[in-house]
Structure 1
Amino acid sequence: MIAERKDDHVRLTVEQQRRLSGQNEFDDVRFVHHALAGIDRDDVSLATSFAGIDWQAPIYINAMTGGSVNTGVINRDLAIAARETGVAIATGSVSAFFKDPSSAETFSVMRREYPGGFIMGNVNLNATADQARKAVELLEANALQIHLNTIQETAMPEGDREFSHWQSRIEEIVTALDVPVIVKEVGFGLSRETIATLQKLGVHVADVGGRGGTNFAQVENDRRDVADFGYLNDWGLSTAACLLDAQDAGIPVLASGGVRNPLDVARSLALGASAVGASGGFLRSLMDGGVDALVKHINTWLDHLSAIMTALGARTPAELAHCDVLIKGELRDFCADRGIETGPLSRRSTRLAATEQTTGSAR
């Protein structure tokens, strides 16, 4: 049953990706164009660092799959693409391995194909601290993702219905592991209150996993005999909304969910993300064109992100957070309701220049 569910998820995700409208709340984020801000391309570095983690690029292949023969092949190909492009990668939930140890190869294949790469394991919160350690050992993982998915479980025919133990379980896993723990949503977003709780629990990094990409409420609803949870399809916070809500979160924040192109990557970094993950679009490239197509897809994103940073005058991904952005539409309405001031975001470069001038004069 687990293997069948994993295969269903891949099939329905790819079908959903082909039906996406192409619009989401990232379109409400616009850079202020400063025509003389550009720098030399050779001065741009894509390297990013957060929570003691160093990546050569701020783009990663986020958690997708594993647990069946077919998904093992997908994980192998994803790992090859990560190796060829030098980006970090996460497996899908290793929880399938705990129920069926024979599925180990569908996950461990990633480390075999990407021996020197940064690989993140992934578990749900039914996993014990001991199982979390086993997931790390299975992959020789550099970090562990814990995914939060109450809405997916609610719509899933065979889903969990008990969530009250989640906070204590997170704390147990964080204490038990000697690698960074990243807690992520699967597409419904993390509010500032949730991120504050994660910080108190000792979590090292939060991946906001916002609405706008693969919709797992819809995926699970499509798996039901009677698709009666369709009203949950619009549930959650967009990735852009989560990032704005998480300003000064206290722990590093990653962005994923509805990231369509390199501009969305730049927007996410400008809104405070340390790195940006994608899954559905990468999966579609792999399924439609194979490993070569996915490698080209990722390399194109890296090249275009460098070009955007060059035009904006950002030498590093972190410097994008000093670029001026305008917040429009429904995203601006969200900010107003949550007490987030958007005006200062459009004048950040002026304030930074004034600060640097004052600092320089003081010297």
Structure 2
Amino acid sequence: MIAERKDDHVRFAHEQQRRPAGANEFDDVTFIHHALAGIDRAEVSLATRFGGIEWPVPLYINAMTGGSEMTGRINRDLATAARETGVPIASGSMSAYFADAATADTFRVMRRQNPDGFIMANVNANATVDKARRAIDLLQANALQIHVNCVQETVMPEGDRSFGAWATAIEKIAAGVDVPVIVKEVGFGLSRETLLRLGDLGVRVADVAGRGGTDFARIENDRRDRADYSYLLGWGQSTPACLLDARDAGLPVLASGGVRNPLDVLRALALGAAAAGASGLFLRTVLEHGVPGLVALIATWLDQLAALMTVLGARTPADLARCDVLIGGSLATFCARRDISLTRFGTRSGVTADSEGDM
């Protein structure tokens, strides 16, 4: 039954990605163009550092799948593309492995195809420390993602209905494993209050994973005999909103959910993310164009990201957080209602390092 669900998730996610990409709140973020800000391309480094982790690029293939024969082939291809491009990669939820050890190779194939790459294992927030360690060991993982997904579970016909122990489980795992722990949503966003609590629980990094990309409420609703939860479509905060909400939370953040192109990666970094991840578009690409197609897409994204950083005068991804941006539309409305000041985002390139803490 789990294998069937995993295949359903891939099928419905692919169907979502085949629809025309619409607008999202990344479009509410606009860079101020300074015509003399450009630098030499040779000065640009894509390397990023956060929470004790170092990546060669600020882009990653985020969690997708595993647990069935078909999803094992997808994980093989995703891991091959990650190896060829040098981007980090996360496995999908490893709950299928805990339920049936025979599915282990649908996850382990990722390390076999990508022996030297940065791989994140993935467990749910009900996992024990022992299960978290087993997941890490199976993939020889460099980090562990813990996904929180109460909205998805609620709409999922066979989903969990008990979430009260999640915080305790996360705290135990963070203290009980030897790799960095990254807590991520699955497309509904992490609020400032949640990020502050995660920091108190010992979590090192959070992936805000906001609304705008693959909608798991829609996926689970499509799996129901009756579409009882259609009114929840669009639930949660967008990724840009989460990034702005996170600015005072004191926790390094990653950005996924609704990342459509290199400009969205750039926008996420400018709003404070250490790196940006994509799933749905990469899944569609590997399903329709194979490993060569995905390798070409990721290579293009990385090349264009470096080119745009050159135009903006950003030598590192962290430098993008000092570029001037304007924030409008519904994103500005969100900020006003969450008491997030936008006054200095448009002029921060002239702010001295000593005064940045007041932003």
TM-score, with length taken from structure 1: 0.97
Deviation at 1:352, TM superposition (A): 3.2
> Which letter maps to 1:27?
D
Aligned counterparts of 2:355 and 2:13: Cα–Cα separation in 1: 47
1:133-161: CA deviations, max 9, x gaps? 00000000000000010100011000100
Deviation at 1:250, TM superposition (A): 1.0
1:57-115: CA deviations, max 9, x gaps? 00000000000000000000000000000000000001110001000000000000100
Deviation at 1:22, TM superposition (A): 2.2
> Which letter maps to 2:213?
G
1:161-205: CA deviations, max 9, x gaps? 000000000001011101000000000000000000000000000
Aligned counterparts of 1:297 and 1:270: Cα–Cα separation in 2: 22
What SS class does the counterpart of residue 104 from structure 1 fall into? helix
Aligned counterparts of 2:351 and 2:55: Cα–Cα separation in 1: 29
Aligned counterparts of 1:353 and 1:113: Cα–Cα separation in 2: 43
> Which letter maps to 1:117?
G
1:300-337: CA deviations, max 9, x gaps? 00001001100000000000000000000000000000
Corresponding residue for 2:222? Answer: 222
2:311 is the counterpart of 1:311: yes
Corresponding residue for 1:92? Answer: 92
1:206-230: CA deviations, max 9, x gaps? 0000000000000000000001111
> Which letter maps to 1:217?
A
2:148 is the counterpart of 1:148: yes
Deviation at 1:21, TM superposition (A): 3.8
Aligned pairs for 1:101-112 within 5 A: 101-112=101-112
Matched-pair contact (CA < 8 Å) for 1:322–1:352: no
Corresponding residue for 1:360? Answer: none
Aligned counterparts of 1:40 and 1:313: Cα–Cα separation in 2: 8
Runs of at least 4 residues of structure 1 off by over 4 A?
353-356
Corresponding residue for 2:118? Answer: 118
Aligned counterparts of 2:227 and 2:269: Cα–Cα separation in 1: 37
Aligned residue pairs: how many?
356
What SS class does the counterpart of residue 345 from structure 1 fall into? coil
Corresponding residue for 2:236? Answer: 236
> Which letter maps to 2:9?
H
Identity of aligned residues (%): 68
What SS class does the counterpart of residue 49 from structure 1 fall into? strand
Aligned pairs for 1:122-141 within 5 A: 122-141=122-141
What SS class does the counterpart of residue 96 from structure 1 fall into? helix
Deviation at 1:125, TM superposition (A): 1.5
Aligned counterparts of 2:33 and 2:325: Cα–Cα separation in 1: 9
Corresponding residue for 2:193? Answer: 193
Deviation at 1:251, TM superposition (A): 1.5
Aligned counterparts of 1:93 and 1:78: Cα–Cα separation in 2: 15
Deviation at 1:20, TM superposition (A): 4.6
Corresponding residue for 2:29? Answer: 29
1:261-304: CA deviations, max 9, x gaps? 00000000000000111000000000110000000010000001
Aligned counterparts of 2:354 and 2:345: Cα–Cα separation in 1: 15
Deviation at 1:351, TM superposition (A): 1.2
Corresponding residue for 2:180? Answer: 180
The runs of 5 or more residues in structure 2 that have no matched partner are: none
2:3 is the counterpart of 1:3: yes
What SS class does the counterpart of residue 346 from structure 2 fall into? helix
2:304 is the counterpart of 1:295: no
> Which letter maps to 1:39?
I
Aligned counterparts of 2:355 and 2:136: Cα–Cα separation in 1: 44
Deviation at 1:126, TM superposition (A): 2.0
What SS class does the counterpart of residue 345 from structure 2 fall into? helix
What SS class does the counterpart of residue 348 from structure 2 fall into? helix
Aligned pairs for 1:230-269 within 5 A: 230-269=230-269
Corresponding residue for 1:13? Answer: 13
Deviation at 1:234, TM superposition (A): 1.3
